A and B are shown apart, each in its own frame.
Chain A
Amino acid sequence: MATYTLISSNILSSSAASVTFSAIPATYTDLVLRCSSRDTQASVTDYYLNLNFNGDTATNYSITSIYNFGSAAASDRWTSQTNGYIYQDNSATATANTFANIEIYIPSYTVSQNKPYSSFGAPESNVANLSTRSVSAVAGLWRNTAAITSIVIAPPTSSFVSGSSFYLYGISNA
């Protein structure tokens, strides 16, 4: 069995409010979601994304992050949220044709335990703006013991632009 396998991909040919991966098989050990994305969030160079597992909208999500805020480093924490967060996507005022690179790693996604996840985002777009977050890492937690069978990633109040791409891989340690 291959160790690192493409489960599904979605390359947007038009704008979309969200991207969904459903019917994720339980045949792997870990999941990796790789995104090259940009959204239409107005008046900012970069913005966060929402992450949802199994359609769960209860307050079972939390994150701790670290990111640059212009030239400084900062951290924030969100507890008991109705979805997880991913930092950070390119948005409307980012340099044209720039897309954020984001990797999300979800280990042991079928194991009956709460699910940690890790993400790293790079929406660098050559903008000298002290409010940009060009590099950010997130430690996320979904407090649910169910196997993950679906993932939805979405800008909270805008849409992904055409050309954004999303690849979901399964990693097997069998």
Chain B
Amino acid sequence: MATTYDKIASTTLGSASSSITFSSIAATYTDLRVTFVGASTGGANLRLQLNADTGTNYSKTNLYGRGATADSARSTNFGPIYIADDGITSTPHFYAIDLFSYAGSTYKTFLWEGSEDNNGSGSVVRGVGLWRNTAAITSVILYDNGNTFNSGTTATLYGIKAA
């Protein structure tokens, strides 16, 4: 039976860093999944950038729960989008992002989940995103503009094959 769920690459930070990059992603899969689990003593907010595109070609709609409130937020014509609802703390937060038909020639859609509970603060997030670009996705950057992710933060890129 063909393998349908492969690890493409994984990075565990050996020291604090403001970004993790997966590059030279081959077009041999159908979908991609990115997982991230990490902490930040500086309160970094996780953002997603595709093919190093910093233009306002991203949009997203997300649901979030913050304990006392449940709501939705939308950002249109935005730069690389925020996956996080709440800044990452010294408590590890978890995110998973599913990028569909990443090698196709249509605009790229993605879903994500975020688990940001800090025992008294934090959020739960579910979101949908769009990158208005027809190019195949060949790089994924998880980053924060000013803060760093702690040493030990891990991100993994998986490929899922339909064929």
CB within 8 Å of B: which residues of A? 2-4, 29-30, 62-67, 73-77, 79-80, 105, 107-108, 111, 113-118, 120, 137-141, 143, 171-174
Given contacts A75-B67, A77-B68, A137-B126, contact A116 B115 (CB under 8 A): yes
| Residue contact B114 to A139, C-beta cutoff 8 Å | yes
| Residue contact A64 to B70, C-beta cutoff 8 Å | no
When C-beta atoms are compared, the residue in chain A nearest to B4 turns out to be A4
Given contacts A64-B65, A75-B70, contact A116 B94 (CB under 8 A): yes
In the complex, A139→B119 CA distance in Å?
10
| Residue contact B35 to A30, C-beta cutoff 8 Å | yes
A contact residues around B128 at 8 Å (CB): none
When C-beta atoms are compared, the residue in chain B nearest to A61 turns out to be B119
Q: Report the minimum CB–CB distance from B91 to chain A (whole Å).
A: 6
Q: Kindly identify which residue among A73, A80, A139 contacts B122, using a CB–CB cutoff of 8 Å.
A: A139
| Residue contact B6 to A3, C-beta cutoff 8 Å | yes
| Residue contact A140 to B126, C-beta cutoff 8 Å | no
Given contacts A116-B91, A139-B114, A140-B117, contact A66 B96 (CB under 8 A): no
In the complex, A65→B65 CA distance in Å?
6
Q: Report the minimum CB–CB distance from B129 to chain A (whole Å).
A: 17
9 residue pairs bridging A and B, Cβ less than 8 Å apart: A62-B120, A64-B67, A66-B64, A74-B65, A105-B94, A111-B152, A118-B115, A139-B115, A173-B156
A contact residues around B69 at 8 Å (CB): 75
Given contacts A107-B35, A111-B152, contact A118 B96 (CB under 8 A): yes
| Residue contact A118 to B94, C-beta cutoff 8 Å | yes
| Residue contact B119 to A65, C-beta cutoff 8 Å | no
B contact residues around A67 at 8 Å (CB): 65, 70
| Residue contact A173 to B10, C-beta cutoff 8 Å | yes
Q: Is B116 in the interface zone, CB < 8 Å from A?
A: yes
Q: Is B136 in the interface zone, CB < 8 Å from A?
A: no
| Residue contact B119 to A141, C-beta cutoff 8 Å | yes
Q: Is B47 in the interface zone, CB < 8 Å from A?
A: no
When C-beta atoms are compared, the residue in chain A nearest to B150 turns out to be A113
In the complex, A3→B68 CA distance in Å?
38
Closest A-B pairs by Cβ, 4 of them? A66-B65, A75-B65, A77-B67, A139-B124
Q: Report the minimum CB–CB distance from A33 to chain B (whole Å).
A: 14
Given contacts A3-B7, A74-B70, A116-B93, contact A63 B117 (CB under 8 A): yes
Q: Is B45 in the interface zone, CB < 8 Å from A?
A: no
A contact residues around B23 at 8 Å (CB): none
A contact residues around B118 at 8 Å (CB): 62, 141
A contact residues around B154 at 8 Å (CB): 29, 107-108, 111, 173
In the complex, A172→B93 CA distance in Å?
19
A contact residues around B37 at 8 Å (CB): 107-108, 111, 116
B contact residues around A108 at 8 Å (CB): 37, 92, 154
Q: Report the minimum CB–CB distance from A140 to chain B (whole Å).
A: 6
| Residue contact A118 to B92, C-beta cutoff 8 Å | no
Q: Is B3 in the interface zone, CB < 8 Å from A?
A: yes
In the complex, A93→B141 CA distance in Å?
47
A contact residues around B3 at 8 Å (CB): 2-3
